[in-house]
Chain A
Amino acid sequence: DTAVSQTPKYLVTQMGNDKSIKCEQNLGHDTMYWYKQDSKKFLKIMFSYNNKELIINETVPNRFSPKSPDKAHLNLHINSLELGDSAVYFCASSQEMGLAGASSYEQYFGPGTRLTVT
């Protein structure tokens, strides 16, 4: 069984479009995350949710809006896509989040969504 799944795996779209990436985890975790991995392979956290509540919101343009309908799902909607949004986006989950965003629990990552904006 897949622990953390993302759809789609690949997404090619034109500038200005709006797109969504979905993420689901079946691990029973309380906390979910979105990360962006750029061409240099650096992973940067974008958002994290704990029990459907936004905990971490890094300096991410307002065009990015996460939505958590329940604690097993964390979707990422992106408006007005730009060339610089091209990257691999990873969803992750962990059992629990500690104080103010710090977590000692192992994070499980999804397979990633490669977004290409043309």
Chain B
Amino acid sequence: KNQVEQSPQSLIILEGKNCTLQCNYTVSPFSNLRWYKQDTGRGPVSLTIMTFSENTKSNGRYTATLDADTKQSSLHITASQLSDSASYICVVSGAAGNKLTFGGGTRVLVKP
């Protein structure tokens, strides 16, 4: 069964600090992995999309890594800002016939 598990479920960090979110998946065969940011009351917004051959991809202060061998990904937030408070969702797309599988998200709260 295709699954995407994220950890931690939630975390609180102080403004200016860094944090790393984890995503483990069992989707096979694998096509790509995405990280989305979802602000409260809004739709998810794409941060990064990585295919099998990509190990890392950055979008501003967000850096995603992918290890397709161990089926793990991480999202690193550098120098967090209050606006980073949101849910971060890991989504894995399987190849040829498999749909997007969503993780449950990590809720990040950045405090001043």
A binds B: yes
Chain A residues lying within 8 Å of B105, measured Cβ to Cβ, are 41
Number of A residues with CB within 8 Å of any CB on chain B: 25
Once the chains bind, are B100 and A45 in contact (CB under 8 Å)? yes
B residues 23-58 in Cβ contact with A at 8 Å: 31-32, 34, 41-46, 49, 51
Chain A 37-54 interface 0/1 with B at a Cβ cutoff of 8 Å (1 = within) = 000111111000000000
Report the nearest B residue to A4, measured CB to CB: B43
- Apart from A40-B104, A103-B100, A109-B43, 12 more pairs, CB < 8 Å: A56-B99, A58-B99, A90-B43, A101-B99, A102-B94, A102-B97, A102-B98, A102-B99, A104-B51, A109-B45, A110-B43, A112-B42
Report B21 CB to chain A, min CB distance, Å.
Answer: 14
- The CA-CA distance from A83 to B45 in the complex, in Å, is 29
Number of B residues with CB within 8 Å of any CB on chain A: 24
| Interface positions of A (Cβ within 8 A of B) | 4, 40-45, 56, 58, 90, 92, 98-104, 106-112
User: Is B89 part of the binding interface, using a Cβ–Cβ cutoff of 8 Å?
Assistant: yes
Chain A residues lying within 8 Å of B49, measured Cβ to Cβ, are 104, 106
Report A103 CB to chain B, min CB distance, Å.
Answer: 7
- The CA-CA distance from A107 to B102 in the complex, in Å, is 13
Chain B residues lying within 8 Å of A43, measured Cβ to Cβ, are 44, 89, 102
User: Is B93 part of the binding interface, using a Cβ–Cβ cutoff of 8 Å?
Assistant: yes
Once the chains bind, are A101 and B31 in contact (CB under 8 Å)? no
Chain B residues lying within 8 Å of A56, measured Cβ to Cβ, are 99
- The CA-CA distance from A101 to B31 in the complex, in Å, is 12
Report the nearest A residue to B87, measured CB to CB: A41
Chain B residues lying within 8 Å of A4, measured Cβ to Cβ, are 43
Once the chains bind, are B99 and A45 in contact (CB under 8 Å)? yes
Report A102 CB to chain B, min CB distance, Å.
Answer: 5
User: Is B95 part of the binding interface, using a Cβ–Cβ cutoff of 8 Å?
Assistant: yes
Q: List 27 A-B contacts (CB under 8 A).
A: A41-B104, A42-B104, A43-B89, A44-B102, A45-B99, A56-B99, A98-B31, A99-B95, A99-B96, A99-B97, A100-B96, A101-B97, A101-B98, A101-B99, A102-B93, A102-B95, A102-B96, A102-B97, A102-B98, A104-B32, A104-B51, A104-B93, A109-B43, A109-B44, A109-B45, A111-B41, A111-B43
